[in-house]
């Protein structure tokens, strides 16, 4: 089994600035742990699988990253430091609140020399609230943003970060919310240039991606607290498959959700219990986010884990 992980990492390219990114992660985690602040690595967004070395075409695991970005904000509010390992262009904590707005529509231009701007009164309260929380996170060194695009970039960064964070043991929480491809093409098998449609139908041989949750829990960060996610469309399969994942990988929590109801209902699955968490109609109407409850459940369990 270990040979599969080794083969994957040998057959895919290390990301640009890989060492620099890991150095930032190490420094960020060390400073926060030294100050008594637990650290969470959140993974968020989808991964791409290039079909050419000079990539024009690729396969994509689509995810806008709502759960990861939203969860990051609640973890920061719970006094965690957050390493946000996310797909480039996916939703980010704090910025997500304005994702569907044109930034120019938020601003009024000043009549004085046209060199200063203010936020329109219709958006001022929201902007001020979000900006305050963001400023606190940044000024206290509680938020580190790290980007990936491809599957290989994501898994190399996850492995590197996990090996670093694993040294801090139970004070580290892994919250694996990224949508990760199940298939890839080794770098050596990629055509160098754009695939030409004039050559006719395209046949692609994809390799299976090894399940990286296994080495993360068993080798890279065995003393840390790990949360994975399980998305299903058949409710009858959700809890059995979540339980099987806990048995297979020996981590602490699976957050299970059904595609159609994932924004208002989840189930927290551990070795000893299955706890359903759902938003009431009143909470949904008031804008309550299910991630608030998810993070309450996860941080409570992580705190007990650290206390052991």
Q: What is the pLDDT of residue 14?
A: 93
- How far, in Å, CA of 245 to CA of 251, rounded? 8
Residue 134 has pLDDT above 80, yes or no: yes
**What pTM, to 2 d.p., does this model score?**
0.90
Residue 128 lies in a domain: no
Looking at per-residue pLDDT, the higher value among 272 and 58 belongs to: 272
Among 191, 223, 255, the domain-final residue is 223
What's the pLDDT band for 202 if we cut at 50, 70, 90? confident
Handedness of CA 5, 156, 60, 184 (dihedral sign): negative
Residue 213 lies in a domain: yes
Same domain for 25 and 61: yes
Same domain for 193 and 68: yes
What percent of the chain has a predicted confidence (pLDDT) above 70?
Answer: 88
Residue 88 lies in a domain: yes
Same domain for 145 and 38: yes
Same domain for 234 and 213: no
Residue 116 lies in a domain: no
Among 181, 203, 223, the domain-final residue is 223
Same domain for 265 and 204: no
Same domain for 299 and 241: yes
Same domain for 76 and 151: yes
135-169 confidence digits (pLDDT tens): 889 899 999 999 999 999 999 999 999 999 999 99
Angle ∠(245,143,216) on CA atoms, nearest 5: 25
Q: What does the pLDDT average to over 6-10?
A: 88
* Among the ranges given (7-16, 219-228, 259-268), the one the predictor scored with the smallest mean pLDDT: 7-16
Mean pLDDT of the chain: 89
Same domain for 291 and 186: no
Looking at per-residue pLDDT, the higher value among 209 and 167 belongs to: 167
Same domain for 259 and 180: no
Residue 41 lies in a domain: yes
Same domain for 204 and 236: no
Structural domain for 70, as ranges: 2-95+139-223
Domain count, the chain: 2
Same domain for 169 and 218: yes
Residue 22 has pLDDT above 80, yes or no: yes
Give the CATH number for residue 85.
3.40.50.10300
167-191 confidence digits (pLDDT tens): 999 999 999 999 999 888 787 777 6
Residue 19 lies in a domain: yes
3-state secondary structure labels for all residues of the chain = CHHHHHHHHHCCCCCCCHHHHHHHHHHHHHHHHHCCCCEEEEEECECEEECCCCCCCEEECCCCCHHHHHHHHHHHHCCCEEEEEEECCCCCCCHHHHCCCCHHHHEEECCCCCCCEEECHHHHHHHHHHHHHHHHHHHCCCEEEEEECEHHHHHHHHHHHHHHHHHHHHHEEEEECCECCCEECCHHHCCCCCCCHHHCCCCCCCEECCCCHHHHHHHHCCCCEEEEEEEECCHHHHHHHHHHHHHHHCCCEEEEEEHHHCCCEEEEECCCCEEEEECCHHHHHHCCCHHHHHHHHHHHHHHHHHHC
Residue 298 lies in a domain: yes
Q: What does the pLDDT average to over 275-289?
A: 96
Among 200, 223, 246, the domain-final residue is 223
Same domain for 158 and 287: no
102-126 confidence digits (pLDDT tens): 565 555 666 555 556 566 666 666 7
Q: What is the pLDDT of residue 229?
A: 97
Residue 249 has pLDDT above 60, yes or no: yes
Residue 73 lies in a domain: yes
- How far, in Å, CA of 240 to CA of 80, rounded? 31
């Amino acid at each position: 089994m270990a040979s599969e992980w080794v083969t994957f990492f040998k057959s895919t390219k290390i990301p640009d600035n890989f060492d620099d990114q890991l150095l930032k992660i190490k420094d960020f985690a060390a400073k926060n742990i030294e100050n008594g602040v637990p650290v969470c690595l959140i993974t968020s967004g989808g991964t791409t699988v290039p079909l050419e070395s000079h990539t024009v075409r690729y396969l994509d695991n689509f995810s806008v990253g709502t759960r990861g970005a939203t969860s990051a904000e609640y973890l920061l509010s719970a006094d965690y430091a957050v390493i946000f390992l996310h797909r480039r262009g996916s939703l980010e904590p704090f910025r997500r609140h304005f994702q569907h707005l044109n930034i120019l529509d938020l601003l009024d231009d000043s009549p004085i020399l046209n060199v200063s701007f203010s936020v329109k009164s219709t958006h001022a309260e929201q902007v001020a609230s979000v900006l305050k929380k963001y400023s606190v996170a940044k000024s206290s060194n509680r938020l580190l943003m790290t980007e990936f695009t491809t599957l290989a970039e994501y898994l190399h960064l996850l492995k590197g970060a996990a090996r670093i964070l694993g040294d801090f043991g139970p004070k580290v929480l892994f919250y694996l919310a990224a949508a990760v491809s199940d298939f890839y093409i080794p770098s050596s098998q990629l055509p160098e240039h754009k695939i030409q449609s004039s050559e006719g139908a395209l046949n692609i041989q994809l390799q299976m991606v090894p399940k990286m949750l296994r080495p993360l829990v068993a080798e890279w960060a065995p003393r840390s607290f790990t949360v994975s996610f399980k998305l299903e469309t058949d409710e009858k399969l959700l809890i059995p498959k979540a339980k099987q994942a806990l048995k297979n990988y020996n981590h602490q929590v699976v957050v299970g959700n059904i595609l159609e109801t994932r924004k208002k209902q989840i189930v927290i699955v551990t070795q000893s219990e299955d706890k359903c968490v759902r938003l009431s109609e009143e909470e949904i109407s008031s804008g309550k986010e299910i991630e608030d409850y998810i993070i309450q459940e996860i941080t409570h369990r992580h705190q007990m884990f650290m206390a052991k």
